[in-house]
Amino acid sequence: MRILFIGDIFGNTGRRVLAECLRTIIEGKKIDVCIGNGENAAGGRGLTSNLFKKLRKYGLDIITGGNHSFSIPDSDIEFMENERVLRPLNFPPGNIGRGATVITIPDGRSIGVINLQGRTFMHEALDCPFRTGKAAIEEMRKSTPIIVVDFHAEATSEKLAFANYVDGTVSAVLGTHTHVQTSDEKVLKGGTAYISDAGMTGPEDSIIGMQRKQVIRRFLMQTPVRFEPAEGGPMLNGVIIEVEDTTGKALSIERIYERVTFHE
């Protein structure tokens, strides 16, 4: 199975990149399943029902989340019950939505996706992603050997530690959240593909998606500043993983960092 994973889709620019390029990549690279992190799809914070539908139409099969998963209006949370949208599994029980899902693609093969959030340098007090993740993987392996984990975290050490902790039991552990792609993609000894961060699909002329001036002002002044999404330098960041169907082991991981020109 060939899986395309898209790094944090940021605002209008990120969505437009996918609208223009995703179908071509899916066909050209013979992609079977497309997963993308959508926590920043709505103006940099959260996702909405309307945008969820649009991302699905552009070619995304499953949309994962992160610390911004709950940054949405209370009136618009029903889409969070859809089996193709995830938020981190280790948020306290009782929250809306799910953190793990298994879907069957048109040719009959199944793939499971688990979304976790790290705790190092993150604000939320969450359950242990290592223990929560391991239990979810054990349960999911009863229905499919092909499992992708989106590990949404700040610290590379936490992401790498988790990947080594579950190496050989999942097809891939893919980092998200920093919006800066790392060049450490590899297949670990046990057969788990890994990258510390898949990067951002959105405006490269920005500071991790937001307008540069505003972010610089925040650092200089140390007082609140309203951040707005930037628009320039559309790019697509992600990885393609090739997985052996019967064992779920990764055969390869290829990094994508593509600058895009919009056609008016």
Would you please indicate which residues are annotated as catalytic (active-site) residues?
A: 68
Q: Is there binding between residue 11 and Fe ion (CB under 5 A)?
A: no
Closest CB 67 distance from Fe ion, rounded Å: 4
Closest CB 179 distance from Fe ion, rounded Å: 6
Q: Is there binding between residue 64 and Fe ion (CB under 5 A)?
A: no
Could you tell me the CA-to-CA distances from 7 to 37, 40, 106, 140 in Å, in that order? 6, 10, 24, 23
Binding to Fe ion by CB under 5 A, coded x per residue (else -) over 122-161, reads: ----------------------------------------
Residues 6+ positions from 140 with CB-CB distance below 8 Å: 100, 102, 112, 114, 147
Cβ neighbour number for residue 51 with a 10 Å cutoff = 21
CA pair distance 35, 24, nearest whole angstrom:
15
Which window, 5-13, 15-23, 183-191, 256-264, contacts Fe ion (CB under 5 A)? Answer: 5-13
Of 67 and 206, which has the nearer Cβ to Fe ion? 67
Q: Is there binding between residue 66 and Fe ion (CB under 5 A)?
A: yes
Of 150 and 185, which has the nearer Cβ to Fe ion? 150
- φ/ψ of 29, rounded to 5, equals -100, 10
Q: Is there binding between residue 40 and Fe ion (CB under 5 A)?
A: yes
Question: How many chain residues bind Fe ion (CB under 5 A)?
Answer: 6
Which window, 8-16, 90-98, 115-123, 135-143, contacts Fe ion (CB under 5 A)? Answer: 8-16
Of 16 and 177, which has the nearer Cβ to Fe ion? 177
Closest CB 257 distance from Fe ion, rounded Å: 17
Of 15 and 177, which has the nearer Cβ to Fe ion? 177
Binding to Fe ion by CB under 5 A, coded x per residue (else -) over 167-186, reads: ----------x---------
CA pair distance 155, 241, nearest whole angstrom:
23
Nearest to 61 by CA among 104, 118, 10, 117: 104
Residues 6+ positions from 28 with CB-CB distance below 8 Å: none
CA pair distance 55, 62, nearest whole angstrom:
9
Q: Answer yes or no: are the C-beta atoms of 143 and 102 closer than 8 Å.
A: yes
Residue with tokens 């297949």: 187
Task: Tell me which residues touch Fe ion (CB under 5 A).
Answer: 8, 39-40, 66-67, 177
